[in-house]
Structure 1
Amino acid sequence: MERSDWWKTSISDISPGVIRYHGYPVEQLIAAPEVGMATMAWLLTRGELPSVPQARLLERALVAGVDHGPQAPSIAIARMAMTCGVGINNAMASATNVLGDVHGGAGQELMEIFATILQDPRPLPETVAAEIARLRAENKYVPGFGHRFHPVDPRREPLVAAVTQAREDGVVEGRVLEAALEIERQINEGRQRPIPMNIDGATAIIYAELGFAPVLGRGLFILSRSIGALAHAWEESNSGARNKGPEHRTILPDYVGPAPRDVP
């Protein structure tokens, strides 16, 4: 094996004086007026440049997920880490490291469900009903729906509207959108208090409609949320606080262990 074969990549072509991404010279990408971060995320993960409407739709999803305040565990962790004297990169990494199946992974899970539904030859309502029944039988919730904080997630409507418009413009097929809306309809049948689609559900529609693999859906959300982690870490670094925990120092956790006792 030649030493140059140790790391092989189709993504970046780097040599003295040359930087190309999937063959495109970086100087041309920098100068192109329609190339932004969403375009670059698409290019590096997919190998080709998106169309302008595709990039704009992706951009909407990335914008929507950047932050949800210190009540989001990942953002709170970024702020706490910053008061421990670490670098801003450590605080950002601490935040993204907790974006797992429970906090930040629902979009990927829903994209996997979309893939299952769209491969099923049965009529859409029947397929969706079967998938919801399976999740309930396994004592699982339907990912991408419901929010512990918002009665109606304010990000749902503009994102769904953007996908709807993209379907009308021929940018996306709209099959994932139809599946998502059918899931939303069925899980809310007969309910006095609706279970709204949340940010994970709305962005999962966009990522899936644009053809991203489910695992990339999670990666794109993490990419988006890292901007919020950066902003909050920076803000907290200017507070002068040190060693901040999850609660104010005047609030102590409830102790539920044994009563005071002597060592025998």
Structure 2
Amino acid sequence: MTTAEDCTRWWETSVSRIAPGEIDLRGYPVQELIGRLSFPDMIWLMVRGELPGPGQARLLEAALVAAVDHGPQAPSIASARMAATCGLGLNSAMANGVNTLGDVHGGAGQQCVQVLEDVVADGRSEAAAELVARYRQERRHVPGFGHRFHPRDPRRDPLLNLVAEARDAGQVKGLHLEAALALEAALSVGRERPVPMNIDGATAVVYAELGIEPELARGMFVLSRSVGILAHAWEEKQSGRRIKGPLPPPLLADYTGPRRSMLP
């Protein structure tokens, strides 16, 4: 027989407590948080269960700001804009964009956090070079490095500089930053042009230094990119244009199937 206690335990949570006239988030009355916590502070509190230190909040905010948008050619943005022209509500257009963020588009940050964790856990100075050699042998790309559009991602340096400042201030250890720079150096060996970190690699350094788990790091990226998705979907809705496909008319995708034929 199901008891009342069984029912109240069904969705038990340490995140929030709700009662008539009361809303506590991680033990803090919401009215005490409003106007006193920044949104990055609030994100940290909700997912980590504690208030962040000043250095932690600053790094988290920087990573969230950096990954907000990468233009309408990004699949997550394009998908949301296309959905908005089909008459969908803003929530559905946003969901359309967010749902494109999988392992290929949107997953490199999570993958890079794991790579950095592996290099740091190894502890040997040659670990980064060995990992790069293994990836090359397997014809795989090291996640978080190189960019098909930017010779040097403009978001790399500000993020890494902030991590270095936090390391020097004793707010983070800097081990994942060191690992990422070692990977970057190893990737450039034997190449005419360097292979610098991209946004996924730079934010992975931030999240790894903050102790954020790989899968949660992807969640942070989705949270950040949702802002860009919202802005683009809203802009497209305001344009009044309808049913925009992937190509502007009168262009059509190339056809590569069999020649046209008629039934006998």
TM-score class, shorter: over 0.9
Match in the other structure for 1:105: 107
Identical amino acids, percent of aligned pairs: 58
Deviation at 1:129, TM superposition (A): 1.7
Residue aligned with 1:250, SS: coil
> 1:133 deviation in Å?
2.4
What is the rounded CA distance, in whole Å, between the counterparts of 1:138 and 1:13 in structure 2?
A: 50
Q: Which of 44, 52, 60 is 2:54 aligned to?
A: 52
| CA deviation profile, 1:173-230 (whole Å, cap 9, x unmatched) | 0000000000000101131122221000000000010010000110000000000000
The one-letter amino acid paired with 2:164 is T
User: Which runs of structure 2 are paired with 1:129-140 in the superposition (5 Å)?
Assistant: 129-140=129-140
Q: Please give the alpha-carbon distance, in whole angstroms, between the structure 2 residues aligned to 1:137 and 1:185.
A: 17
Farther off after superposition, 23-32 or 229-238: 23-32
Gaps of 5+ in 1: none
The residue correspondences of 1:36-75 to structure 2 (distance < 5 A) are: 36-75=38-77
Corresponding residue SS for 2:58: helix
Q: Which residue of 1 aligns with 2:218?
A: 218
TM-score (norm 2): 0.96
- The alignment status of 1:29 with 2:33, answered yes or no, reads yes
- Name the aligned partner's letter for residue 157 of structure 1: D
Q: Aligned pair 1:5/2:29, yes or no?
A: no
Contact 2:153 2:199 (8 Å CA) reproduced: yes
Q: What's the C-alpha RMSD, in Å, of the aligned pairs?
A: 1.0
Aligned mates of 1:23, 1:137 — CA distance in 2: 51
Counterpart residue identity of residue 5, structure 1: R
Matches of 1:12 and 1:249, distance apart in 2: 50
Code of the residue aligned with 1:206 in structure 2: it is V
Q: Distance in 2 between matches of 1:15 and 1:177?
A: 44
Q: Deviations over 1:99-128 (max 9, x none)?
A: 11111110100111111111114x22x111
2:227 corresponds in structure 1 to 227
The whole-number CA distance in structure 2 between the counterparts of 1:250 and 1:229 is 27
- Report what 2:244 is aligned to: 244
- Give runs of aligned pairs for residues 123-202 of structure 1, distance below 5 A: 123-124=124-125, 126-202=126-202
User: What is the one-letter code of the residue matched to 1:234?
Assistant: W
Unaligned residue ranges in structure 2 (runs of 5+): none
Distance (whole Å) between structure 2 residues aligned to residue 158 and residue 206 of structure 1: 11
- The corresponding residue for 2:118 is 116
Corresponding residue SS for 2:24? strand
Q: Which moved more, 1:135-144 or 1:45-54?
A: 135-144
In structure 2, what is the Cα distance between the partners aligned to 1:55 and 1:106? Answer: 23
Distance 1:181 1:220 in 2: 22
Structure 1 consecutive aligned stretches of length 4 or more whose deviation exceeds 4 Å = none
Aligned residue in 2 for 1:96 = 98
State the shift of 1:137 in Å.
3.1
The two structures have a TM-score, normalised by structure 1, of 0.96
Does the CA contact (< 8 Å) of 2:129 and 2:182 recur in 1?
A: no
Q: What count of residue pairs does the alignment treat as equivalent?
A: 260
CA distance in 1, matches of 2:38, 2:263: 65
